Copies of this chain bind each other. A is one copy, B any other.
């Protein structure tokens, strides 16, 4: 059965996913939502963060199974690229829905 009551802001707040509350991770997800895959280096340059930093955020998203990795050699150089998983896409959309509901009251 469908929902009848509009959940309150409070309820939407509980639907927020902490994995997406960090702006770097938000950036990673945003990039992966609009591109089939994005490389490690592209992400790092795009978001202007250190190696240690982006690697940490990537690891968190990987641990949640929100993104997947593809390791290959391109032009004889190592290339690590990331894609959003179905689980990640769903979770991210849910997060954005909650955010949207919260900010709609503006």
Question: Which residues of A are in contact with B by a Cβ distance under 8 Å?
Answer: 9-10, 13, 16, 18, 21-23, 26-27, 30-31, 33-34, 46-47, 93, 96, 99-100, 102-103, 105-106
A93 to B21 alpha-carbon distance, docked (Å): 17
Please name all residues of chain B whose beta carbon is closer than 8 Å to the beta carbon of A106 when the two chains form the complex. 33, 93, 96
Q: Which residues of B contact A100 (CB under 8 A)?
A: 103
Q: Which residues of B contact A27 (CB under 8 A)?
A: 9-10, 13
What's the Cα separation between A92 and B48 when bound, in Å? Answer: 24
By the criterion CB–CB under 8 Å, are A30 and B93 in contact?
A: no
A63 to chain B, nearest CB (A): 20
Known: A9-B27, A10-B27, A16-B23. 16 other contacts (CB 8 A): A9-B30, A10-B46, A10-B47, A13-B23, A13-B27, A13-B47, A16-B26, A21-B21, A26-B102, A30-B102, A30-B105, A33-B105, A93-B106, A96-B103, A96-B106, A100-B103
